Amino acid sequence: MKKRIVAIAPIIVAFISIAFMNCGDDGGGGGTSAPNAPTNPYPGANAKNVPTNTVLAWDCTDADGNELKYDVYLGTSSSPPRVGQDVSPPYYAPPKGLDADTKYYWKIIAKDGTYSTGGPTWSFKTAEAGGGGGGGGPEPKTGYAEFIPLNVGNTWVYEYTYSDEEGPREKDEYELLVVDKFDNYHGFESYLVKCKWQYRIPQVRYITLGYDGDKCYLFTCPWWEFLIEDDMAWMAWSQTGLLSYCRLQFNFTKDVSVPAGYFTDCKQLAVVHKHATYTETHEECYAKGVGLVYYRYRVEYSATNWWQYEYKLKNYKVTPP
């Protein structure tokens, strides 16, 4: 059976629905459904010993695919006051932090431009003074973290190509921009990354990456789901956010030539899944101090019946963390 051409947006959106820190879609109000109630709070309900520099986060969806904005209520009474209005994406960093050894209440109201839905009131208690929430400065980046340099303002632009046995079919660009940093977001030194691409209309999603020593994590509400470190043998993610639940393993170093230049000794991660009627291959290459320079996903039914998409680093601006 001849394959169906797969465009970039369905692939990305399928993974975003699982892994991206996203609560809604681009577009205005409208539709017939109110947003779903906010869920998956961080800090978790009735959490204790919460760091005073914690960033609040939650998960939310809208059945009509409308863009969601949020009103944030936070305080020490069971009916907390509103402290943030029309917040997006779904996180809130208290401007002055939180008081130590204090019980807080908070809730979120999700709005799609037409309807609104309030979530439950959650509570948590912060750590005692000197008992948590600090952690000192970030550790030097070693191991795999050296291959994923995160700093506010860092930018990567990829040249995207979809092709099959008849040649290239689609070309586009995919951009990553680090827009914010949190000292303690779900327990890690973390960075918010804005992902932009074009498919019929401009698309924007957000992912959150975190450092823990020589490891790097991708945040998926409400927990840290994917892990990158040396010699990893289980779940991993691509810096483009395109990989789903794949068993990637470090294979060897590889030289890579892309529009952004020639990179030597890249770490290559790859996995091959053989199915009854086709084989799928994931490959990604990271350059030390630069980040992801090449990504390819290929589905092959036979030598003359296949399709794939590639991301090649086109240009970048990177400063080390």
pLDDT of residue 226: 46
| Whether residues 152 and 110 fall in one domain | no
Question: C-alpha 134: how far from its chain's center?
Answer: 24
Range of the domain at 244: 138-317
19, part of any domain = no
| Whether residues 164 and 119 fall in one domain | no
Domain end, chosen from 100, 126, 152, is at 126
CA distances from 117 to 20, 71, 123, 215 (A): 22, 10, 19, 37
Interior/surface letters 12-46, b for 16+ CB within 10 angstroms, e for the rest:
bbebbeebbbbbbbeeeeebeebbbebebbbbeee
Residues with Cβ within 8 Å of 184's Cβ and at least 6 positions away in sequence, in order, are 51, 53, 54, 55, 133, 135, 190
Between 316 and 57, where is the model more confident?
316
| Whether residues 45 and 189 fall in one domain | no
pLDDT of residue 186: 63
- Counting Cβ atoms within 10 Å, is residue 126 exposed (0-12), middle (13-18) or buried (19+)? buried
And the tokens for 51?
């760091």
Give the separation between CA 80 and CA 306, rounded to whole angstroms. 56
| Whether residues 302 and 170 fall in one domain | yes
Q: How do residues 77-98 score in pLDDT, each as one tens digit?
A: 999 999 999 988 787 888 888 9
pLDDT of residue 144: 65
Lowest mean pLDDT among 90-104, 145-159, 208-222: 208-222
24, part of any domain = no
pLDDT of residue 220: 52
| Whether residues 142 and 290 fall in one domain | yes
Task: Please report where in the chains the tokens 């230049």 appear, as a residue.
Answer: 261
285, part of any domain = yes
pLDDT of residue 240: 41
| Whether residues 217 and 295 fall in one domain | yes
How are the residues of the chain apportioned to helix, strand and coil, as percentages rounded to the nearest 5? 5, 55, 40
- Give the CATH number for residue 57: 2.60.40.10
Domain end, chosen from 94, 126, 158, is at 126
pLDDT of residue 30: 59
Give the residue ranges of DSSP H helices in the chain.
8-19
176, part of any domain = yes
And the tokens for 142?
């070693």
And the tokens for 30?
């409208």
| Whether residues 105 and 168 fall in one domain | no
And the tokens for 313?
């680093």
Between 127 and 14, where is the model more confident?
127
pLDDT of residue 224: 43
Q: How do residues 222-272 score in pLDDT, each as one tens digit?
A: 444 444 444 443 344 444 444 444 445 555 788 999 999 999 988 887 777
pLDDT of residue 163: 95
Q: What is the DSSP code (8-state) at residue 54?
A: B
Give the residue from 309, 313, 296, 310 showing the smallest Cα distance to 261.
313
pLDDT of residue 128: 85
Strands (E) in 151-260, as ranges, are 155-164, 167-185, 188-199, 201-212, 215-220, 223-228, 235-236, 246-247, 249-258
Percent of the chain with pLDDT over 70: 71
Q: How do residues 100-144 score in pLDDT, each as one tens digit?
A: 999 999 999 999 989 999 999 999 998 887 654 444 444 555 566
Give the separation between CA 233 and CA 229, rounded to whole angstroms. 9
pLDDT of residue 231: 44
Between 138 and 309, where is the model more confident?
309
Residues with Cβ within 8 Å of 133's Cβ and at least 6 positions away in sequence, in order, are 50, 51, 52, 53, 54, 100, 126, 127, 184
Between 100 and 2, where is the model more confident?
100
CA distances from 134 to 105, 140, 188 (A): 22, 17, 11
pLDDT of residue 311: 92
- Give the CATH number for residue 301: 2.40.360
| Whether residues 251 and 152 fall in one domain | yes
pLDDT of residue 125: 92
Domains in the chain, number: 2
pLDDT of residue 205: 74
Q: Which of 53-67, 178-192, 213-227, 274-288 has the highest mean pLDDT?
A: 274-288
Between 50 and 21, where is the model more confident?
50
| Whether residues 146 and 268 fall in one domain | yes
| Whether residues 49 and 157 fall in one domain | no
pLDDT of residue 215: 67
| Whether residues 289 and 147 fall in one domain | yes
13, part of any domain = no
Domain end, chosen from 69, 99, 126, is at 126
15, part of any domain = no
Strand 167-185 and strand 188-199: the pairing is antiparallel
Cis before 140 (ω within 30) = no
26, part of any domain = no
| Whether residues 69 and 193 fall in one domain | no
Between 167 and 182, where is the model more confident?
167
Name the 3-class secondary structure at 301. Answer: strand
